[in-house]
Structure 1
Amino acid sequence: MNDLSARVRAFAEDRDWQQFHTPKNLAMALAGEVGELLAEFQWLTPEQAAMVMDDPEAAARVRAEIGDVMIYLTRLADVLGIDLVGAATAKLAEVAVRYPVELVKGSAAKR
């Protein structure tokens, strides 16, 4: 993650884009990219969505959108000084307490 953060930061700095990379702008760009990822699945059945990577053209579009999402998320975390892996690890530990296996296995119900 550190290498990716450094590469994305350097990409922005080389282009003098850090002036535009405010948390608000990055969060909005991230939301836009997530919307583009969602559009790839919008009218698919659950079965089609599960098989999307079997279609080379659809797979390339999904891979590109996920790449965009990852880049913007990485840049936003870097600008805010958030360790993405640490944040995800902490959130996973928190959710594990809220949703213990013995109480929620096989259920999508919220607690």
Structure 2
Amino acid sequence: MNEKMEKSQEECHNPKRTKDVSLQELRDKLAEFASVRGWDQFHSPRNLLLALVGEVGELSEIFQWKGEVAKGLPNWSSDDKEHLEEEISDVLLYLVRLADVCGLDLGQAALSKLVKNAQKYPV
């Protein structure tokens, strides 16, 4: 394994909690992750969207029977929070990958959408 991949795997297994991660960094890591595994052939927009929908379903299941949940999840166990973190991460990763495969700048698109929403819903 080359040095770049070893560093990338180390970062994936031991993420630094103090470092903000950009969408571009996630995009690049996901592209490399898929490329070295030969998954690009399977990462069509349609397939990624279907995978994303599946992950949103898994995320929804976590909340399905809980009723209203307080901000910060004060009554949740650490295992429940970890499960939630994993499912939210899956949704984010598929969304970032989908945007990349479609040739979209997800961060810029989100900022543009915020501007449109501010105009649509003024204070």
TM-score clears 0.5: yes
| Alignment-mate amino acid for residue 58 of structure 2 | E
Distance 1:2 1:50, change over 3 A: closer
Partner of 1:64: 86
2:77 is the counterpart of 1:40: no
Residues 1:9 and 2:31 are matched in the alignment: yes
**Which residue of structure 1 lines up, in the alignment, with residue 121 of structure 2?**
99
* Distance in 1 (alpha carbons) for counterparts of 2:31 and 2:69: 38
* 1:7-50 superposed Cα distances (whole Å, 9 cap, x missing partner): 00000000000000000000000010011001000001213676
In the TM superposition, what whole-angstrom CA distance separates every residue of 1:47-103 from its partner, at most 9, and x where no partner exists? Answer: 3676267420110110000110111011101101111110100111101111111xx
Q: Which runs of 5+ in 1 are unaligned?
A: 102-111
Scaled by the length of structure 2, the TM-score of the pair is 0.77
Q: Aligned pairs, how many?
A: 101
TM-score (norm. length: structure 1): 0.85
Maintained 8 Å contact 1:23/1:80: yes
Q: How far apart, in 1, do the equivalents of 2:25 and 2:108 lie?
A: 15
Aligned-residue identity in percent: 44
Q: Which amino acid in 2 is paired with 1:34? A: V
SS of equivalent to 2:69: helix
Tell me, in whole angstroms, the C-alpha distance in 1 between the residues paired with 2:77 and 2:113. Answer: 33
- AA aligned to 1:20 is F
For 1:85, the aligned partner's letter is: G
Letter in 1 for 2:40: Q
> Where has structure 1 moved over 3 Å in runs of 4 or more?
47-50
Q: Are 2:49 and 1:27 equivalent residues in the alignment?
A: yes
CA separation of 1:5/1:40 partners in 2, compared to 1, >3 Å: closer, same or farther?
same
Cα deviation, residue 2, structure 1: 1.2
